[in-house]
Amino acid sequence: MPPRIHVGPEPERLFTEAVEAAGAVVAAEPAEAEAIVWLTGEPAGLVSVLHPGVRWVQLSSAGVEQWLADGAIDADRRWTSAAGAYGETVADHALALALAGRRRLHECARADSWSRELEGRPLFGCTVAVVGAGAIGRALIRLLEPWGCRIVAVTRSGRDVEGAAVSLPASKLDEVWPQADVVVVAAPATDATRHLVGAPELARFRSDAWLVNVARGTLVDTEALADALAAGRLAGAALDVTDPEPLPDGHPLWREPRALITPHVANTDDIRRRTLADFTRENIRRYAAGEELRGLIDPARGY
């Protein structure tokens, strides 16, 4: 008997087609389903339709900190995030930010006269610290290969990461900041990673280093970063995510010449939806076959 999967809160065609392509049946109502694919980030709507017969929930986001904070993820069923689905597209944006920052393209774009003082630096041969070598971090390491960068990969456990010259555990982060030309933050947002980069860490950065954040804004202390940039203690920061988000109008970072900000667009909506549909189809196939699901959430770890 093929599993019955409900797609909510609305049965979007791209995802109902993914359910059918995986050999499952679309359940029109949550009460008829043994699994739910939930396409919004609002826990309350999903919690209101859960019932004891739901054995698995597929969420649409890679980060699940809000779901955990709201207590929506229970131990009565399996929960999966989209972790791993968006690695390549977000890594592509991280590379673009690193290149643009090192080359000072954002300053050139703002200039209104010709000045050789805006000459930037290449990414070739740099030491790049990838803090969080999950799907995004590993994809970025692959993309950086043609640039001949020396990669320092940081994971929670310090496991060996393919393509990295050095693999370190998070407990040794203090060794990372002073040696990196570019620090890319790609770790999950948890209680343990809040303000992973704060004033003490920024003080250890090289004065010519760039910080790139494509994870979550809470991993960087925004006010400490603004102060460090204003004081010229690092070359710049390229941020696709901020805390708070959206970054308020008039915030000092908008006026900071060393800051390059994009409005959380590393994962464009069209690509995100198509990638998520492919990810969902594969996870439904695995569910039906009794195989291990991708993106299983461990509440104890926070992701």
Annotated active-site residue 264? The verdict is: yes
Annotated active-site residue 29? The verdict is: no
DSSP E strands: which ranges in 68-204? 78-80, 127-131, 150-155, 166-169, 182-185
Task: Exactly one of 4, 78, 251, 264 is catalytic; name it.
Answer: 264
Task: Exactly one of 104, 216, 258, 294 is catalytic; name it.
Answer: 216
Q: Is residue 254 helix, strand or coil?
A: helix
Annotated active-site residue 245? The verdict is: yes
90, burial (CB in 10 Å: exposed 0-12, middle 13-18, buried 19+):
buried
Closest CA to 22 of 277, 260, 272, 302: 277
**What is each CA distance from 165 to 130, 162, 174, 176, in whole angstroms?**
11, 9, 17, 13
In the DSSP assignment, the letter for residue 248 is P
| Beta-sheet strand order (sheet of 35-38) | 25-26, 4-8, 35-38, 56-58, 78-80
Task: Exactly one of 42, 245, 256, 282 is catalytic; name it.
Answer: 245
Extract the tokens encoding 154. 């940081």
- Active-site residues, by number, are 216, 245, 264
